[in-house]
Structure 1
Amino acid sequence: MVKSAGYKMVGGNGVFFPILGFASIIAFIYLSFGDLLSVRYKNEINLSFVERNGTNFVVDGKLFYINGWNSYWFMDHAVHVDSRPRIRAMLQAAAKMGLTVCRSWAFNDGDYNALQITPGQFDENTFKALDYVIAEAREVGIRLLLSLVNNLDAYGGKTQYVKWAWTEGVGLSPSNDSFFYDPSIRIYFKNYVKTILTRKNTITGLQYRDDPTIFGWELINEPRCITDPSGDTLQDWIEELSAFIKTVDNKHLLTVGLEGFYGRKSPKRKTVNPEFWAADMGVDFIRNSAPSAIDFASVHIYPDQWFKRKSLKGKLKFVADWMHSHIEDAEQVLNKPVMFTEFGLSDLNKGFDPSQRDEFYKVVFDVIYESAKKKGGGGGSFAWQYLVEGMEEFNDDFGIVPWKRPEMYRIINQHTCRLAKIHGAYKPVTGNMNRICNGRW
């Protein structure tokens, strides 16, 4: 993931890298999770759908606050047998830390290992890879927040849809923002979404829309429509597509996938937004999150990409203020939960030290914990991104292998345990909180 001036690219060009350190991954799985490896698709796990009650997530009537993470690469790595162990290793490690939801991509449009080769044409081998990811997550009781398209070019994105329409002679404009207003492209995307939601998993036998392993759907990763800074174009797209999804799948939660910027008409554009440019991205956090079909709001946190001159102390103050503002909006305006579905600190910053990332994570976790103590609307956070050993060439400057640094591992586990202590543990399928927290909860 490369970020600059408020822009982001994820996963490079999606090229598959040969597996590195395969033996070390197998050794890691065996030594750390040997007791979990015997579980193989027994279909005996009884998961319930996550629901929304006002500003809270609930599972079986109990409050559900999420300590989650991003591993966007799951489907891509599941295509090839030799890289599949990475998915299992990551999920097993997450289960050991008591993590409960992973955000990942359910798209790859016209790229290497493409899921959608051309509009309406799907690669069954890649679809089976996504089946595998969902089945593996189900085995350890971890849910998935699945994103349906990228605003960015990585893995195809909205630009690929525009190219398809342009090539077929039906596109209105070569601008990639025409993704949001071109009727032909809307048809492409609706067909894609319906195909995903109604897919019958070849491993579990469940249609995706009937599988509680899926926490929910995200319309698009980090939408922006800079050709219409008023926000009207994007808002129309959100309202139509969110309503459409609910006609196909009314069991799962739905979010937009926003970065959280306040738009031109918002009074918070000058007091809360990171910088002046954020109000001109054609988005607005409150307006975009308001439609009735949108179940929860989403926000991202990248202070070192949004500010180049602030000190670490200044950036951390911004993070706390940014999160409190959006939680306040979720509770007082939207009456919906908000999740901080990406947060990260780059190791390319001048003078970077891992302890700075520790401080950053602590701030994010502390704000969520404060909200949870009050049964508030700060529903959870998702680190960008977690990986396993052997993925150095696939990593970006935000990614970490959590268990490689004892202090970071402790911080993540502590957050899991104190959330469990407040409202009672959501018991993992592969373990229990007493083991994860060593009896300290």
Structure 2
Amino acid sequence: MNLHLKHIKVYHVLGIFSLVSILYYNFHDHIQFPVYYTWQPKMSFVGVNSTRFMIKTSSKTCFEDFYVNGWNSYWLMQDSLNGPSKSRVSEMMKRGAQMGMTVCRTWAFSDGDSPNALQVSPGVFNERVFKGLDYVIVEARRHRIRLILSLVNNLNAFGGKAQYVRWAKEAGINVSSSSDSFFSNAVIKKYYKDYVKAVVTRRNSLTGVKYSEEPAIFAWELINEPRCESSSSAPALENWITEMAAYVKSLDPKHLLTVGLEGFYGFKTTEKSTVNPGKWAASLGSDFIQNSAIENIDFASVHAYPHSWIPHSDLDGMVDYLSNWMDAHIKDGQEVLKKPVLFSEFGSPLRKKLEGPYDRDILLKQVYDKIYESAKKREAGAGVLIWQLLVEGMKQYRDEFSLVAREHPSTYNLIVQQSSRLKNISSQGNANRKFHHIGRCLA
């Protein structure tokens, strides 16, 4: 073949590739075939072995420990709904990967009658928004980021459990006005199950891969920060977790599952009351040990917001509180639950004294050091997800704890350093053990 013909073939291939690219970026919302699928990197499902997350190595017969340094960006699905904001989703995944982070937690819910709601009424979904979630998953996998997808909000933002109660009332169901009905009413529980089934069994419109078969999903979270209006609803919450955990596992045995707890100790564990940030915490109906011990819950989740929970304390008091809070939960994960403990939200405002480092950096370093020390000992402290990361131009999602990491070099460096040292520990955890296909690792 002469050089001229070779050039023609090269130009022909490049022309086809360019045409496909143009068609995709202009009309991808209407394309039904899996454009992205063949470009996706291979990933393994994450499992658990007692108190540690595990991941299969390339040998397929070995695994290594998987310690998490990650972040929260709850807004990803909402920003995936149109072209201009989609770029922020891609950029956030790119930056997270560049900082060595491996897991992002985000909302897989938006309930109500707003134009960008995912579930507009019980069992009725906005396909445009679902495609936004498809895109989030594709971009996560493209950057080798794993997602924790939360399935409903305890709070009223994005609908939450209160929206489910309103739907039941509008349908003529005799239901209490308390949002605690979400945990006990049979009709409302059926609404939630129908929603979970629609999400967990969905086939991604961009890749053709079912969510239940997608390794870029790290875990499902039943509910973000479950609380009860009355402490008398605590048994209903515990029964709800038991029922819904079993249901999710019946649909998807491959992925890990967590509750979404803040980590408060309830009345059943009164000996732990001094660990709570105040007496109010035990009255919220949740119980870290009782709820996390439920059979189908694979790992425990904990949140930490010292500035919000003990607002009248000085920085030294917050440091002491945070130290005790983390030690207690890691110890309970190790000795009582025998499950990994993931601090899935840690938030602190910037705040800086006239001299010295930011409050946030002092507290974040303490959190990171606690996880690092636990990881070195192969104990239950499995990782931290900072709340929350943004990219530039996102004022509508800002709160007192949010940050654009690159605008704060000291915090950025802490994140990168934590990623590096956890990666080193993970790579030292190789072992010759079988990895169970349903998401658990057997010694």
Return the letter of the residue paired with 2:323: A
Letter in 1 for 2:155: L
Structure 1 residue 43, shift from structure 2 partner? 3.3
Which has the greater radius of gyration?
2
**Match of residue 65, structure 1, among 61, 64, 67:** 67
**Any gaps of 5 or more consecutive residues in structure 1?**
1-38, 427-441
Preserved contact between residue 36 and residue 207 of structure 2 (Cα < 8 Å) = no
Match of 1:55 among 46, 51, 54: 51
- Structure 1 residues 130-279: aligned runs within 5 Å: 130-229=133-232, 231-279=234-282
1:96 paired residue number:
98
Letter in 2 for 1:58: M
Structure 1 residue 346: deviation in Å? 2.6
Query: 74, 80, 83: which one pairs with 1:81?
Result: 83
Find the residue that maps to 2:77 and give its secondary structure. helix
CA distance in 2, matches of 1:229, 1:322: 25
Q: Spell out, residue by residue over 1:337-386, the C-alpha distance to the aligned partner (whole angstroms, 9 max, x if none).
A: 01000010134799999711111110110000001000111111000000
Structure 2: which amino acid aligns with 1:43? W
Task: State the one-letter code of the partner of 2:231.
Answer: D
Per-residue CA deviation, residues 144-180 of structure 1 (Å, 9 max, x unaligned), is 0000000000000000000000011014212111101
**Which residue identity is paired with 1:54?**
S
Correspondence for 1:397: 400
Which stretch has the larger CA shift, 250-259 or 44-53? 44-53
Alpha carbons 2:350, 2:358 under 8 Å: kept: no
Match of 2:359 among 349, 356, 359: 356
* TM-score when normalising by structure 2: 0.85
Check 1:348–1:164 CA distance in 2 against 1; reply closer, same or farther (3 A cut): farther
In the alignment, the residues of structure 1 paired with residue 111 and residue 233 of structure 2 have an alpha-carbon distance, to the nearest angstrom, of 28
Alignment root-mean-square deviation, CA:
1.9
Which is further off, 233-242 or 170-179?
170-179
Corresponding residue of 1:285: 288
Return the TM-score normalized by structure 1: 0.85
SS in 1 for 2:53: strand
Residues 193-237 of structure 1 deviation map (CA, whole Å, 9 limit, x = unaligned): 000000000111111001010000000000011323462110010
Retained in 2: the 8 A contact 1:229–1:281? Answer: no
1:41-52 pair list within 5 angstroms: 42-52=38-48
Please give the secondary structure, in 2, of the residue aligned with 1:278. Answer: helix
How far is 1:40 from its partner?
A: 6.1
Q: How many residues align?
A: 388
Contact 2:68–2:384, Cα closer than 8 Å, also in 1: yes
Moved over 4 A (4+): 347-354
Q: Distance in 1 between matches of 2:37 and 2:396?
A: 31
Helix, strand or coil at the partner of 2:196: helix
